[in-house]
Amino acid sequence: MTLAAPPQAGHGLTPFLNTLCAGSRLSLPETAQAFGLIMDGAIPNEQIAAFLTALRMQGEGRDELLGAVTALRSRMISIPNVPTGTIDVCGTGGDHYGTLNVSTATAFVLAALGVPVAKHGNRAVSSRTGASDVLGALGVPLHADPLILSEQLKTHHIAFLAAPHHHPAMRHAAPVRKALGIRTLFNLVGPLINPAQVKRQLIGVFAEAWLNDIVDVLAQLGSERVWAVCGLPVGQSQGIDEITLAGPTQVVAFEDGRKNNFTLEPEMAGLPAHPISAIVGADPAYNAQALLELLSGATGAYRDTVVFNAACALHVAGRVSLLRGAEIDPAALKESVAAVSRPLDDGSALAVLTGLRTASSDAHAPNVTG
């Protein structure tokens, strides 16, 4: 995407901060330039913190999201030879529920079914345990070499793309994000800058208000099929960045060049309701133990949540069809739930994890038992 050059930024982010403090929005080119300055290491931490906070208080918009994504994509280290139909399942974070690692577990299930998954993730910033944290506790090496990751996609149908390896420019903002400890525009940007440049994504979003903008941005950038989802736990004021069993889940879908909205309910999938408290996680060792037990066939709320997400991701990957017109077909969804449950029962999802841990000489034994 080519952007018209905005006016000269002058002294760092000061012109953009003045715009935000005056109650005005940044244009797409202005946001792209501001994030470019941050990514190029040209801005002190104090200005980065002020800028991210001012954006949050002003309320980020679609143009600002697209501008930030454009700046970061232009600086990322990409993965070559990505199989057609590769999918990412990823959440924005920022919902503060601190659940177990649902999208990471979902990735193992999909890979066991032969769906190539380029799982983009990071260490925890505004949550307890990020994807990279739990993978480290499981003994899965997080490679930086794009060629190794490309080979993993081919051999194991899965590769975990640690954000710092592919977005080195983000190191300039990482200390500020960690110090702030709040949701910033970077939470929204993360799932939209997959280094494998996937065209199919199931994205969990912390707030329903962002679903349309995220889908619109990805559609504009060339995605083929996207579901942006936000769970709405009953009795809670905050959404959750995954398909939930604690209430309805709002979905904005983009496929076949069209966008439509619908709602998912647990009963549509033939699954019981579970409160969010049933899948609350803790430190990396705790979450890794839970994930290992899940892949070994454990039942309960964690498994039910993962199969719900994986069943829908199978549609995004194009392996099943869950929509009848613009609505969910419950019978098809139940069949998909059964399909994604099999790798958890027959050991093939666990075999994917074992393959990743043993394929590299630098893999180490996890600090968990199972």
pLDDT tens digits along 52-63:
999 999 889 999
Residue 63 burial (CB count, 10 A): 18
The residue written with tokens 């999201």 in the block is 65
Is the Cβ–Cβ distance between 120 and 157 less than 8 Å? no
79 has a pLDDT exceeding 90: yes
AA identity, residue 348:
S
* CATH architecture of the domain formed by 13-74: Up-down Bundle (1.20)
> Tokens in use for 42?
């040209």
Is the Cβ–Cβ distance between 264 and 303 less than 8 Å? no
How far is 247 from 234, CA to CA, in rounded Å? 5
363 has a pLDDT exceeding 60: no
243 has a pLDDT exceeding 50: yes
Q: Which residues are annotated as a binding site for Mg(2+)?
A: 103, 241-242
> Tokens in use for 230?
């936000």
Q: Where are the beta strands (DSSP E) in the chain?
A: 87-91, 117-121, 158-162, 200-204, 225-231, 249-255, 258-264, 323-324, 327-328
Residue 39: pLDDT band with limits 50, 70, 90 = very high
Which pLDDT does position 361 carry in this prediction?
Answer: 41
1 has a pLDDT exceeding 70: no
Could you tell me where the DSSP H helices lie in 282-347? 284-295, 301-316, 330-346
Domain borders along the chain are: 13-74, 87-165+184-355
CATH 3.90.1200.10 fits 87-165+184-355, yes or no: no
The helix/strand/coil state of 229 is: strand
Mean pLDDT to the nearest integer, 311-335:
97
The helix/strand/coil state of 83 is: coil
Apex CA 155: angle with CA 143 and CA 191, to 5°?
50
The helix/strand/coil state of 298 is: coil
| CA nearest to 350, candidates 37, 141, 109 | 109
Please provide the distance, in angstroms rounded to a whole number, between the alpha carbons at the two ends of the chain: 48
How far is 35 from 287, CA to CA, in rounded Å? 33
- Report residue 295 CA to chain centroid gap: 20
How far is 305 from 271, CA to CA, in rounded Å? 9
pLDDT digits (tens, 9 = 90+) for 248-278: 999 999 999 999 999 999 999 999 999 999 9
How far is 306 from 177, CA to CA, in rounded Å? 28
Q: Which residues are annotated as a binding site?
A: 91, 94-95, 99, 101-104, 119-127, 131, 177, 241-242
Q: Which residues are annotated as a binding site for 5-phospho-alpha-D-ribose 1-diphosphate?
A: 91, 94-95, 99, 101-104, 119-127, 131
The residue written with tokens 């889940």 in the block is 249
Q: Which residues are annotated as a binding site for anthranilate?
A: 91, 122, 177
Which pLDDT does position 221 carry in this prediction?
Answer: 96
pLDDT digits (tens, 9 = 90+) for 275-302: 999 999 999 999 999 999 999 999 999 9
Residue 257 burial (CB count, 10 A): 7
